[in-house]
Structures are given as C-alpha cells and as structure tokens.
Structure 1
Amino acid sequence: MATTPDGLPPLREVVATHGLAPKKALGQNFLFDLNLTAKIARSAGPLEGFTVFEIGPGPGGLTRALLAQGASRVVAVETDPRCLPILDEISNHYAGRLQIVQGDALKTDLAAIAAGGPAKVVANLPYNVGTQLLINWLTANPDAPFWTSMTLMFQKEVGQRIVAGPGSNHYGRLGVLAGWIAHSEILFDVPPQAFTPPPKVTSSVVQLEPLKERLPCDLAKLERVTQAAFGQRRKMLRQSLKPLGGESLLERVGIDPARRAETLSVEEFCQLARAI
C-alpha cells in the first residue's frame, strides 16, 4: 500500500479498506484532497502548544493535516462509531498527540477538556449542526472564551451570515452575535467537487478571533433585541421592537424608530440591550 508524506496510507485507500461511506443523516462529506486539508490547517496559524479541537473528523483527512502541521494535541470529537478504527490508526501513528472523543459535539464541553490551556477549533463542520455549534462556542463564556481562534468550514451562505455587517442582505442575528464577540472573515471558498459526495452548495472557510475589547452588553438581552428586530426585519423598528418598548426604547438611545433591523450596527444593538 502506498503512503503519503505523513507516512500513512492515502485516505481513499483507508476508506475503501474499512468500507466507510459518508452518511447523509450525519451531514458527512469527506475531504480527500491533501492540499486542501493542509491549507485549512495552515490557515489556523501556529498549532504547536495548542489543544486543537476538531469536530466530525470522519476518516481523519483534516486530523492528519493538523498533526502534520505540528498541533501539540488534537482532540477529535466524532459521533460515528464507524470512523473510530481509522482514527485509532492515526492515533497510533502520532503517539500521544491525538485524543478521540466519541460523542455528540453539541453535548461535549470543549472548555472542560481544554482545562484552561490555549485552544483552537479547526473543523469541517457537519452542515446540519454547524451553526448551532458555533453559537454554543460563541456564547459559552463571552468574557473569557476557551478558544483563541476558530477556523471552521460552513456552507457559504452561513459563512456570509457570520461575517455580514449592517446593510448586507446576509446581516442578521448571527452576524450581530459574532460581531459582538469576535472579528471574523472568510478566508477562502471550497467548491462542491472537493468533497465526496459533492454537496449542492459551495463551502467557505471562516476564521474568528475574540475581540480584545468587547462592548458592554448582557448576552440574554442582546438576544432578545436581535430576535425581536430580525424576527420582523422588513418592518420598522418601532413595530418590531414593540414588545420591548418600541418607540420609547428607541428614543431613549437616540435611534430613529423608522429604521429597520439590518441598518443597525452591533454597537446600536448593544445600546438597545442595555436600555431594556
């Protein structure tokens, strides 16, 4: 069997040997392109000295790239038991550097596993839970996030929503939340044909880094304001924010009641949250 630069067999051969096929129900799309997985790993910056969390590693293409890139410790959270024997082979090859956690990433406390040490999250997230995972990590402890950066692949549309600012059609609750906690940018797009099976949409790799100084705001109140405002995004704020005080609330912070949600900056949403 041929080997690749990391000394392990080519990923397609590994998958064929184990008879592993992607499961649509798990949102699985495998990445076999070593150049692409290496590019994602490099995009995360220096990995030595960090715990790197990977969610949904599948057969371990990105896992291998992260280890080859020098990650001191990779924690791979995988819900599919069929992938565990392949991940075990990688773990044996990189003795002591790969920890495999079988379980649901939505119920896995990454902060507890990081135990206060520097951590990054680098993952090709399953499409069906990617947005919820991001929200969980953003809101777990906004004052002291467990991550120093997150380099994540989403559907392009979700990536656009994460990085969107006021005035954009993609701007909404996710953009406000991400903009309050982090600086985010789309690094590059990934075409459908890079995956097996190819999804129907283009993907984007998004990087988020926590802001050094964050606007003072209560998360629960910010979520109430954005839910009300974007829940009726085509209506003027005087109408959409009626349950929270409507015109009187807007006038207290000096915001024109005739404006619409997508025109407000993150700072203005924080002002409204503080005024509730």
Structure 2
Amino acid sequence: MADLPPIRETIARHGLSASKALGQNFLLDEQLLARIAALPGDLSGARVLEVGPGPGGLTRALLRAGARVTAIEMDSRCLPALEELSDAFPGQLTVVEGDAMKLDHGALMQGEPYHVLSNLPYNVGTALFVKWLSGEEWPPQWLSLTLMFQREVAERIVAREGSGAFGRLAVLAQWRATARLAMKVHRSAFTPPPKVMSAVVHVTPTRAPDGVSARTLERLTEAAFGQRRKMLRQSLKSVPGALAALEGEAIDPTRRADTLSVAEFVAVARAIGTN
C-alpha cells in the first residue's frame, strides 16, 4: 500500500482525463475518499460494488479499508490503472468492463450481501439509484448505498413533503429505507471541478410495509409528480383505482403531490393493490 504513487501521478502517467461524455469527475483527496469509505462502517472482508471507479481514487480507499471490491468500469482507458491496484491488493479487486445499467449486479456479487459505494457518473447516477431501489424483493441483496450525487439530486432524495425538492426520488428512497445526506463535497474537490456542488447520500434498507407493491408505488409517484403542479384528481386519473384509493384513505383529491407524506403515498398504493 505504501508503494502506491499519489492518484494524481497515476492519472498523469496513464494520460487520463475526465470524460464529459461519461459524466466523469475524478476525486483525488485521499483523506476525503477515506471518509467516504468509512460511512458504511467496518468494511474489513465485506463485499463492495463500485460503479465508475475511473483511475481508482475511491477504490484505493475501499481496498485499504479491507473491502473485497467489484468495480464496474466502461472506460477502457482506466483499466490499466485499475489493474495496478489489483496487483497491489492481491485477491481484493475484481474489475468488470461494461455498462452498470445493463449488468446483473446480484449475479456479479455471486449472491452475497454487499455494500454499494460510488462516485457515480453524473449522467447515470439517478437511473442507477432507481434501479437499486426498485423491485419487489425486499430486503435487497445490497446492505447499504453510499453514493455521490450532484447536491441538488442528493437533496431531492432526502427531502420531506411540503418542500420544493420533495418528489418521486424521495418517496422511492424513504418508503422502505432510510436516507440521509452524509457529507457535502465542494466542487473544488474534483478534477475537473464540476459546475455544481455535490453531496454523498447514505441509504440503508428497512422493513417494507405490508401489502404494498413496489411497481404500483412507482406508477403512482410517476403519475403524481409527472404533473406535480396539478391536483391529484387530475394527475392520478391515468392510474387505475387511484382516485377511489384517495377517497378510501380520506385524502383530499384537490391536494398536490408534494403535500402528501411518504406514508400517505404508501397507503394509497396499498389501497390500489387491494381493490
């Protein structure tokens, strides 16, 4: 470990530069990376999935924490730098070249429980987050999600009803999991610095409410927040059983989506499923 050169030297030696097309922004501050790696707790011997490791800044921190890392990288330019890390930490790092949106993460992790830690590429971060939160099977195979987002997206994930940031992401993140904004990260920490600030969100699964279909809740929130300025009686017309469910739960149909609590969305989804 002591023989590893600074990540900045690795980037220069391999002629790497962050790809705007791939949504890359490299993190080089090793103290900051170590703090991110520590957020899930002790990772010694734990399985970790990392998406978009790039030259391996966060990967180093995870390996130093004793994690067994599976890293998905679609930028072939970064593979030689990651191979060096694999050599420096024998048996701890597996690199998979491919698109994380198209891969079966559970199969990659061989059915074992795992943590997800990633400085997510900006252009696929939200889609991957929804992918991890979706699905009827719960609790999921992953034990926690520790993810870097644009700060605006992070605030939407942890938002409460009644705020301008509250929307579909907040409901999906909070109805059967806890989500917190764990760390704010200044744009100057990245190379190149993005135009926006960033933040790390930490999510852990909790017990799922009984009698609620994830797919129904997803359809419900998609319709409700797709027309968030309209009354629910208008925005939910396209969801079979939704208006009757509102009446059954004594929810005023003239309210707007951002005034409903997560619990109220869950109640409506449960009522739709039992009709």
* TM-score normalised over the length of structure 2: 0.94
Q: Which residue of structure 1 aligns with residue 203 of structure 2?
A: 208
Code of the aligned partner of 1:51? R
Write the distance in 2 (CA, Å) between the matches of 1:147 and 1:223: 20
Q: 1:112 to 1:140 in 2, by over 3 A?
A: farther
Write the distance in 2 (CA, Å) between the matches of 1:166 and 1:177: 13
The within-5 A match list for 1:84-233 is 84-233=79-228
Q: Is the CA contact 2:52–2:72 (under 8 Å) kept in the aligned structure 1?
A: yes
1:26 paired with 2:22, answer yes
Q: Find 1:65's aligned residue among 29, 44, 61.
A: 61
Write the distance in 2 (CA, Å) between the matches of 1:141 and 1:46: 29
1:54 paired with 2:50, answer yes
SS in 1 for 2:96: strand
Write the distance in 2 (CA, Å) between the matches of 1:154 and 1:114: 23
Write the distance in 1 (CA, Å) between the matches of 2:9 and 2:135: 39
Q: Which residue of structure 1 aligns with residue 8 of structure 2?
A: 12
How many Å apart are 1:28 and its aligned residue? 0.8
User: What percentage of aligned pairs have identical amino acids?
Assistant: 56
Q: Which residue of structure 2 aligns with residue 266 of structure 1?
A: 262
Write the distance in 1 (CA, Å) between the matches of 2:243 and 2:132: 34
Code of the aligned partner of 2:56? G
1:253 paired with 2:249, answer yes
How many Å apart are 1:61 and its aligned residue? 0.6
RMSD over aligned CA atoms reads 1.5
Q: Is the CA contact 2:135–2:214 (under 8 Å) kept in the aligned structure 1?
A: no
Code of the aligned partner of 2:23? G
Write the distance in 2 (CA, Å) between the matches of 1:248 and 1:97: 54
Write the distance in 1 (CA, Å) between the matches of 2:139 and 2:112: 12
Q: Is the CA contact 2:138–2:208 (under 8 Å) kept in the aligned structure 1?
A: no
Provide Cα deviations, 1:58-86, integer angstroms capped at 9, x if missing partner: 00010000011121x10010000000000
How many Å apart are 1:22 and its aligned residue? 1.0
Provide Cα deviations, 1:138-164, integer angstroms capped at 9, x if missing partner: 114541301111110000011011111
Q: 1:69 to 1:151 in 2, by over 3 A?
A: same
How many Å apart are 1:118 and its aligned residue? 2.3
Q: Which residue of structure 1 aligns with residue 76 of structure 2?
A: 81
Write the distance in 1 (CA, Å) between the matches of 2:238 and 2:21: 38
SS in 1 for 2:82: helix
Structure 2 unaligned residues grouped into runs of 5+: none
Q: 1:274 to 1:140 in 2, by over 3 A?
A: closer
Q: Is the CA contact 2:144–2:205 (under 8 Å) kept in the aligned structure 1?
A: yes
Structure 1 unaligned residues grouped into runs of 5+: none
Q: Is the CA contact 1:37–1:62 (under 8 Å) kept in the aligned structure 2?
A: yes
Write the distance in 2 (CA, Å) between the matches of 1:91 and 1:131: 29
Write the distance in 1 (CA, Å) between the matches of 2:11 and 2:111: 35
Q: Aligned residues, how many?
A: 271
Provide Cα deviations, 1:182-212, integer angstroms capped at 9, x if missing partner: 1000011111110110000000000000013
Code of the aligned partner of 1:42? A
Write the distance in 2 (CA, Å) between the matches of 1:118 and 1:247: 39
* TM-score normalised over the length of structure 1: 0.94
